[in-house]
Structure formats: C-alpha cells, structure tokens
Structure 1
Amino acid sequence: MAKQSLIVEKSKYPTLLYRKNRLLRLLESGVFALELLIVLSVFPFRSPGFIAGMILSAILAILIVPALYLWWAKPSYELYQDRLLVKVGGKEESIWLHEIEKEYDLPYMIRVKGKRIPLLVSDSFLEEINARLEVVRRGWKKS
C-alpha cells in the first residue's frame, strides 16, 4: 500500500455551490422550508413582500448552507496510487480504486459496491482520479 498521497484536496466553498451530496441537498431544502414558513407568517400569500421574501429565502438557503456544511463537515479527499481516502465530518473512509466505477450522468459521482457517492472536489482532482482509475483498469505499472 502506498504511503504517500498523490494529491490532497479540501472541498472549497465555490465547489459546494454546484456539487452537492444528499445531506447538503436535504439541509438546503429544510432551511428553505423553514425560511418560507417565516416569510408566510409575516406576509400575506402572493403579495409582493411574500414573493420577494421567498426569492430571498431561496438565495440565502443556497448560499448559507454550503458554508455551514463546509465549517461543520470539513470534507477532504486524499488520492493514493491504490485508494481514495474520504474524510467527512470526523468519519474516514478508504475506497480501493479497483472498486470504483465511474458514473457518466454526473462527472463527480462514483459508484462503489452499487452505492452512488458524490465527490465534492474540483475538476482537476476528478481528472487525477480518472487517470488513476484508467491505470488500475488497464493494469499499467504504477508510476
């Protein structure tokens, strides 16, 4: 097993704005619903204040929840020659590269033992993972 990582990345806020996992999507929906209830209690339904409050609530949920998730979970990823180490919210999971299958509908999704896992990483990190997966799949010598 390789001891030195090839590349290490901690998820960044801009990445979390457009790449989301299930928990992040659920938190955004919950925060939006809560904000919508508050707006509904203040303004009458379909009034201009309600519409403006609803739009503002959506924008706040989309912008604030990823920042809170980044602060709380601190997701980071380390790529080794033979495995991917995923650290999210104090949990650490090691995924062997030969177990990873690419998902073609979303480039940041992978499939491990039938389970879809989102990788909240940059495009350059995804390119490096795809290169390592190709090396493992074809059986080339490790560089």
Structure 2
Amino acid sequence: MKKSSEEVLYQAEATYKDLLLRKNLKLRIFETVVFVLGMLVASSILDADSDTFKLIAFAIAIAVVGLFPFLYKLVLQPKYTLTRTHLIVSMSGKETAFPLNEVEPVIEGRHIYRLSGKRESLMVSREFLGHLNERLRYFQNKAKRR
C-alpha cells in the first residue's frame, strides 16, 4: 500500500539497538534454539568442565545475542511508516497496512501493540513509538467526541 509523501507523518527503519532490545517472540525463540543447538554441539565435542568449553559457550552466547540483530536487519529489513490513518509495517519487502483504529498498545509505554487483533512487537525506536502513541491518542479522542 503506497501512501503519498504528504500523508506520511513519520517513517523509521529499525536500528541495531531496536532489533537487540525489541525483538518479537519468534526471534527470541529462534535465538534460544540456536544457542541450545550450539551448546549441544560444543558439549558433545568438548568436556563440559574444560576452560575451552566455557570459552566457546561464552562465544556462542555473544554471537547469538550480539550478531543476530545484524542478521535480522539484513534479512527482515524492518521499516515502519506512520500516516494520518495507518501504520504501515514493511518486513522482508512485504508491506502491511493497519488502520490506526485497529492499533492499540498492549502495555502502556512498551513496544508491544495489538495490530488488527494480533499481538506484535514493533522493532522501532522510542521516538517512533512516541509519535504512534500520540496519533493513537488523537484517534481515541476523536472517537470519544462522536
């Protein structure tokens, strides 16, 4: 769904920090599975009491937690656009538009929102979330006036 540039209120791409701190549940589970598989492989090759195993376990943890956000940014290319009436989420080149009347924060002040009935984690900056919350308050006040 393409919106004209005059309708776009705010646009943001996810940064490394956003992807590190605001991952959705699927990505967190994926990281956990990769870490566990890495630990199983390392434990089958090395003695669990050895210093080498401990060093490799630490390296696996750093690789999973520290390097995966770069991978997510390359693969997912998350981009968020806020217009007057919609929140547009672009992941892996697939764009989905959510009307703002179907967007609501699940926990106030956090990055988890209900988008058309589904809980989603928005992997975007606090600044963007602030603009989104401001726009949602505008929609709520507009609905109350009717």
Report the Cα distance in structure 2 between the residues aligned to 1:74 and 1:54, rounded to whole angstroms: 29
1:88 lines up with 2:88 in the alignment: no
Aligned to 1:30: 33
Partner of 1:137 in structure 2? 140
Alignment-derived partner of residue 50 in structure 1: 53
Whether contact under 8 Å (1:86, 1:93) holds in the other structure is yes
Moved more, 124-133 or 90-99: 90-99
Do 1:27 and 1:65's aligned partners in 2 also have CA atoms closer than 8 Å? no
Pick from 51, 63, 68 the counterpart of residue 65 of structure 1.
68
Residue 105 of structure 1, CA deviation:
6.4
User: Which residue identity does 1:46 align to in structure 2?
Assistant: D
Instruction: Give distance in 2, aligned partners of 1:66 and 1:27.
Output: 12
Q: Provide the residue aligned with 2:123 in structure 1.
A: 120
Whether contact under 8 Å (1:109, 1:118) holds in the other structure is yes
Counterpart of 2:68, as a letter, is V
Deviation at 1:131, TM superposition (A): 0.3
Q: 1:6 aligns with which of 3, 9, 15?
A: 9
Per-residue CA deviation, residues 55-106 of structure 1 (Å, 9 max, x unaligned), is 2211110011111111011000000011100000122110011111111166
Identity over aligned residues, as a percent?
A: 32
- Structure 2, unmatched stretches of 5+, are none
| 1:34 partner letter | L
TM-score (normalised: structure 1): 0.88
8 Å contact kept, 1:85–1:94? yes
Tell me if the contact between 1:28 and 1:61 (Cα under 8 Å) persists in the aligned partners: yes
For 1:106 and 1:63, the matched residues in 2 are separated by 25
**How far, CA to CA, are the matches of 1:106 and 1:68 in structure 2?**
27
Residue aligning to 1:108: 111
Gaps of 5+ in 1: none
Q: How many residues are matched?
A: 139
Which residue number in structure 2 is paired with residue 41 of structure 1? 44
